[in-house]
Amino acid sequence: MPTYPPEPFRIKVTEPIRLISPDKREAALKEAGYNIFAVKAEDIFIDLLTDSGTGAMSHDQWAALMRGDESYAGARSYIRLKAAVEDIFGFKYFVPAHQGRAAENILSAVLVRPGQYIPSNMHFDTTDANIRARGGRPTNLVIDEAFDPANPHPFKGNMDIAKLKAFIEKIGAEKIPFGMMTITNNAGGGQPVSMENLKEVADTYHSYDIPFFIDAARYAENAYFIKLREKGYENKSTLEIARETFSLADGMCMSAKKDAIVNIGGLLCMNDETVFQNVKNELILREGFPTYGGLAGRDLDAMAVGLYEGLDEAYLAYRLNQTAYLAARINQAGIPTIQPAGGHAVYLDVLATLPHIPQGEFPGQALTVELYREGAIRGCEIGSVMFAHPDPETGRMIYPQLELLRLAIPRRTYTQSHLDYVAETLARIKERAAEIRGYKFTYAPELLRHFTARFEPL
Ligand SMILES: Cc1ncc(COP(=O)(O)O)c(C=O)c1O
């Protein structure tokens, strides 16, 4: 079992959670059409649906909210956020946005034209969708190790540099308005990217005059993984590592709902002045004036404080050990997870846990439902419900390579005993795994069906 530093905070404000009875859980499941997204939050005991915007703010962040300056233009809150953004990320220009996908939308509107390609290690689904919405073609070129759940590679989020070079040669640099990297790689299990790889990616893009943008939602977790795992970085601070990371890039977009530990917020940064002018015009149209970008002044202040708190090494040591601890306890119960544990979430290998349920009967959904039934815990299916689709030519269903249940850990929110409860619940499910049955759709929309689909047990 990994050593687990105690939570580096004490609890000043509490929010009650309640464990409703098994009968009430069964009724809640039925009413929700066995879709965990439709279960009311008050009927959930431990909510691991996402780590986005669900963290606990510190007393300094709550104090900062009171300093919020709600002036429409040039607010003091903006000036404080600007100082933090310049200090940590070092880009020449930036705008706030209300969340990550808003920043992606503005970036795509300004830079992506129909038929252009945007390579990355792996695009997160909102980035992918925003590029596609402008007629662009997002392309994922992560290393092959990312697709092997048992492979313990320390930087499974790395870009495959040979694939990237071959891709640019094949497509032509003129068809690539910018290239990206997602740190850490959420779509690939919250896996980090090494500094060595980031440097190679930057060199490759720049040798073809392609601007390099980072999707920086989990920049601090990535920096701490580099400190722990990459030679030469053990004595550097996470702030120094973050500065080095962003010095390689020409810009970044970021959901601040992750490592800036705020409930809402985002950032878009860049060095190019013309791009900045166009971004500001688009922002005014869609989000708000460039000094508030769709946020309240108080949100900007909370973000300015959170950007530093996310980099605190005592916090990061606790945070990354939390996922490693939960993964180790779940493995002890006989359930394999993606190795090594990612930064923000534990991903359960469902095909190894429920091998008797074929992918067409949604084993990931079955395990997600079971986790709620057994312990009122909410996780997120990342498998056939989310990704299976018919082949456009043959009509045959194409199933994803991995069938996963993701347990995302909100920041500074749950204690070790909550995680023990999750692991013990899963151990009980594992004992009766052979009895668990699959599901079929009773309703499924064409796109993003996992949010609103309804099911029936088989
Ligand atoms: C890597 C990554 N990029 C972008 C986003 C989108 O951010 P938001 O949910 O704030 O729109 C997310 C959200 O989960 C993410 O994980």
pLDDT in tens, 48-73: 999 999 999 999 999 999 999 999 99
Amino acid letter, residue 298:
R
Dihedrals phi, psi of 349, to nearest 5 degrees: -85, 100
- Number of residues that make up the chain: 458
- Position 17 scores a pLDDT of 97
The answer to whether 145 and 210 have CB atoms below 8 angstroms apart is no
What band does 392 get if pLDDT is binned at 50, 70 and 90? confident
Instruction: Report the C-alpha gap between 397 and 297 in whole angstroms.
Output: 48
Instruction: Report the C-alpha gap between 380 and 405 in whole angstroms.
Output: 6
Q: 184 CA to middle of ligand 1, Å?
A: 11
User: Is 197 a pocket residue for ligand 1 (Cβ < 6 Å)?
Assistant: no
Beta bridge partners of 118: 138
Other beta carbons within 10 Å of 280: 17
Question: To which residue do tokens 């705020």 refer?
Answer: 262
Q: 129 CA to middle of ligand 1, Å?
A: 12
- Position 391 scores a pLDDT of 83
- Which residues are within 8 A (CB) of 85 and not within 5 positions of it... i.e. 6 or more apart? 91, 94, 267, 269, 307
User: Is 189 a pocket residue for ligand 1 (Cβ < 6 Å)?
Assistant: no
- Position 3 scores a pLDDT of 65
- Position 2 scores a pLDDT of 56
Q: What is the mean pLDDT of the chain?
A: 96
Is the pLDDT confidence value at 445 over 90? no
Ligand 1 atom nearest residue 256's Cα: 10
Instruction: Report the C-alpha gap between 69 and 73 in whole angstroms.
Output: 10
Tokens of 61: 């962040």
Ligand 1 pocket, mutate which of 186, 218, 287 (most atoms under 8 A from CB): 186
> Buried (b) or exposed (e) across 413-437, using 16+ Cβ within 10 A?
ebebebbebbbebbbebbeebeebe
- What are the catalytic residues? 72, 124-125, 215, 217, 258, 450
Which pTM value belongs to this model?
Answer: 0.95
Tokens of 126: 């909102």
Q: 344 CA to middle of ligand 1, Å?
A: 12
Q: 282 CA to middle of ligand 1, Å?
A: 20
- Which residues are within 8 A (CB) of 393 and not within 5 positions of it... i.e. 6 or more apart? none
The answer to whether 212 and 182 have CB atoms below 8 angstroms apart is no
